[in-house]
């Protein structure tokens, strides 16, 4: 089997409760043919069949329900890439608190855990401990594939945000590094999918200017206020210089995505302004995405 097999192949994986179904629905809406929980052993045969269907885009969901087959997945990805098949792997992650909340809301069992009668008799504490253990075991099983994937932290994302972020990821052309700038609020937590995190809470805060409080870093009055602050300009130039210095190394390392997260207290003003500005500065790089975790959640 040689050469490109399908026009565009996306693998969607990640922790149970991370949002894989939402991501696959977003890809289906974007024109992908989607199949969920395909055992890795069947991947090559499935792709052979796809060669007769013309140039259509394919998305495949793989998760821990195929845990006996998971060790075969990473070697298969490397084999396909070596044979000329572009493969994009998206890994959906979330923190343990978010996952436990989602399992509680849906009342669905974790695929690695069946609640025993003894646990039910021991009550909620035992059930919680069993779920935490299952989540941690799953993280270990998926650790290797996570390293080889583009990670999206869905802990604080609404379904609409996740759908938009997935569509953005697959809209960029493969073969070169995509630079992702993301604003966030430290009070809501640091994104686990960030490669670099810059803390800009030391900068002057437009929140304390009454006329600017209700606006965001995308509004010109806020941008004008921040542009006039020497500390903001210094921080911006130093972040830009750091990225300019190291981007060639990440490109040489064949990285597909590099996520630069910029955080302030509320994720509304300073971090948003710097993400917007840095995205413009690096537009010449070719493939640049912007995310505003807190603003996008409105």
Could you tell me if residue 212 is inside a domain?
yes
* Domain boundary pick from 151, 171, 191: 171
Q: 253 and 218 share a domain? A: yes
Residue 90 lies in a domain: yes
Q: What is the pLDDT of residue 122?
A: 47
Would 26 be classed as within a structural domain?
yes
Considering the domain architecture, whether residues 189 and 259 belong to the same structural domain is answered as yes
Q: Strand (E) positions, 208-287?
A: 257-264
Q: Please tell me whether 15 is known to bind a ligand.
A: yes
CA atoms within 13 A on the CB side of 213: 5
Q: Is residue 116 part of an annotated ligand binding site?
A: no
Q: What pLDDT, on the 0 to 100 scale, is given for residue 274?
A: 98
- 123 annotated to bind ligand: no
Is 14 known to sit in a ligand binding site? yes
Q: Is 63 annotated as a binding residue?
A: yes
Please check whether residue 198 lies inside any domain of the structure: yes
Q: Judge if 40 and 135 occupy the same domain.
A: yes
Q: What is the pLDDT of residue 55?
A: 65
Is 3 within the bounds of a domain? no
Nearest-CA neighbor of 295 among 206, 228, 214? 214
Q: What is the pLDDT of residue 80?
A: 86
Claim to verify: residue 49 and residue 143 sit in the same structural domain: yes
* Separation between Cα atoms, residue 29 and residue 26, nearest integer Å: 5
16 is an annotated ligand-binding site residue:
yes
**Annotated binding-site residue? 84:** no
Measured CA distances, 144 to 163, 191, 257, 291 (Å): 25, 20, 17, 26
Give pLDDT tens digits for 115-161. Answer: 434 443 444 444 556 888 889 988 988 898 898 889 999 999 999 99
Q: Following DSSP, what letter does each residue of 80-97 receive, concatenated? A: HHHTT--EEEEEEE--HH
Whether residues 125 and 252 fall in one domain = no
- Coil, strand or helix at 292: strand
Is 17 labeled as ligand-binding? yes
**pLDDT value at residue 54:** 64
Whole-number pLDDT of residue 40: 83
Strands 196-199 and 87-93, bridge-based pairing: unpaired
Q: Is 176 annotated as a binding residue?
A: no
Query: What is the CATH classification number for the domain harbouring 121?
Result: 3.40.50.300
User: pLDDT under 50 in the chain at which residues?
Assistant: 1-3, 115-126
pLDDT in tens, 205-218: 999 999 999 999 99
Residues 105, 63 share a domain: yes
User: Which residues are paired to 116 by β-bridges?
Assistant: none
CA distance 126 to 58: 41
In this structure, the answer to whether residues 141 and 12 fall within a common structural domain is yes
The pLDDT assigned to 162 comes to 95
Q: Could you tell me the pTM of the whole model?
A: 0.79
Q: At a CB cut-off of 8 Å and minimum separation 6, what does 128 contact?
A: 100
* Residue 129 labelled as part of a binding site: no
pLDDT at 123: 44
| 1 part of a folded domain | no
Question: Residues 130, 22: one domain?
Answer: yes
Residue 150: domain span:
8-171
Last residue of a domain, one of 171, 188, 215: 171
Q: Are residues 167 and 20 in the same domain?
A: yes
What is the phi-psi region of residue 23: left when phi exceeds 0, alpha when psi lies from -120 to 50, beta otherwise?
alpha
**Total domain count for the chain?**
2
Same domain, 123 and 207: no
């Amino acid at each position: 089997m040689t050469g490109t097999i399908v026009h565009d192949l996306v693998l969607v994986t990640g922790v149970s409760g991370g949002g894989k179904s939402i991501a696959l629905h977003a890809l289906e809406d974007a024109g992908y043919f989607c199949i969920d929980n395909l055992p890795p052993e069947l991947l090559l045969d499935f792709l052979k069949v796809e060669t007769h269907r013309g140039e259509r885009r394919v998305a495949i969901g793989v998760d821990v329900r195929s845990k006996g087959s998971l060790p075969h997945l990473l070697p298969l990805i490397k084999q396909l890439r070596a044979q000329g098949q572009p493969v994009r792997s998206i890994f959906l992650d979330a923190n343990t608190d978010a996952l436990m909340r989602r399992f509680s809301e849906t009342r669905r069992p974790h695929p690695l855990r069946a609640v025993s009668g003894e646990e039910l008799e021991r009550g909620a504490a035992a059930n919680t401990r069993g779920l935490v253990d299952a989540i941690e075991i799953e993280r270990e099983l998926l650790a290797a594939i996570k390293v080889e994937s583009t990670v999206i932290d869905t802990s604080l994302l609404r379904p609409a945000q996740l759908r938009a972020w997935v569509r953005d990821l697959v809209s960029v052309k493969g073969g070169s590094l995509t630079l992702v700038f993301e604003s966030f609020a430290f009070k809501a937590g640091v994104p686990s999918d960030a490669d670099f995190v810059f803390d800009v809470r030391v900068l002057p805060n437009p929140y304390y200017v009454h006329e600017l409080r209700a606006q965001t870093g995308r509004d010109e009055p806020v941008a004008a206020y921040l542009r006039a602050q020497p500390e903001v300009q210094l921080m911006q130039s130093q972040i830009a210089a750091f990225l300019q210095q190291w981007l060639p190394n990440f490109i040489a390392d064949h990285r597909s995505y590099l996520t630069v997260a910029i955080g302030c207290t509320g994720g509304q003003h300073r971090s948003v302004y710097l993400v917007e500005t840095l995205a413009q500065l690096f537009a010449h790089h070719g493939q640049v995405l912007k995310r505003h975790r807190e603003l996008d959640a409105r």
